[in-house]
Copies of this chain bind each other. A is one copy, B any other.
Amino acid sequence: MNDMRDTGLTLNPKYDRDGLITAVVTDAANGQVLMLAHMNAQALALTVESGFAHFWSRSRQALWKKGETSGNMLQVVDVRIDCDQDAVWVIANAPGPACHTGQRSCFFRRVTPNGLEGVDAAI
C-alpha cells in the first residue's frame, strides 16, 4: 500500500467526501492534545502560509480562523501530514484555552469502564 502519496514529498491531501481532512492540534509547550478539527484546502493553505491555525467549521459551514473572536489564536510551530495524507498534525503555541468550555484542552475528561471522569489540565 506504499505509494507516492504515502511516502513521497508532494502535497496531495486525500480530502473526504466533504472536502475535508482532519487536523489535530498539540501544545508546543508540553505535547498535550488541545483540540481536533477539520480543514479544507483553503484552511490548510492559510495555516501554512499565515502561521495561524485555520479550520473549516462543519457546523457553521465557514472558514474559521481559530481565536479570531476570542483572541486565543494558535500560533503554528510546525505542520505535519500523515502517511495517507488525510490528517495533519499542527504543533502550536496556545496563549489561552483552546476549548469553547474554557478548558485549555478539549480533552479534559478520561474514559473509564465506569464512565467519564475529569482530569487536570496537565497530562
Asked whether any CB of chain B lies closer than 8 Å to the CB of A113, the reply is: yes
Which residues of A are interface residues toward B (Cβ below 8 A)? Answer: 1-2, 6-11, 22, 24, 26, 30-33, 35-36, 44, 48-49, 78-84, 87-89, 91, 99-101, 103, 106-113, 115-119, 123
**In the complex, the 10 A-B pairs of residues with the closest C-beta atoms, listed nearest first:** A31-B31, A80-B107, A82-B106, A79-B111, A36-B87, A9-B116, A89-B107, A83-B106, A33-B89, A24-B24
List, sorted by A's number, 20 A–B pairs whose CB atoms are closer than 8 Å. A2-B100, A7-B101, A9-B109, A10-B115, A24-B36, A33-B33, A35-B82, A36-B82, A48-B111, A49-B113, A79-B111, A80-B107, A80-B108, A82-B99, A83-B101, A84-B106, A87-B106, A87-B107, A89-B107, A91-B123
Q: Contacts A8-B116, A48-B113 given; 14 further ones with Cβ under 8 A?
A: A9-B115, A9-B117, A11-B111, A11-B116, A22-B36, A31-B32, A33-B80, A81-B116, A82-B99, A83-B99, A83-B103, A83-B106, A83-B108, A91-B123
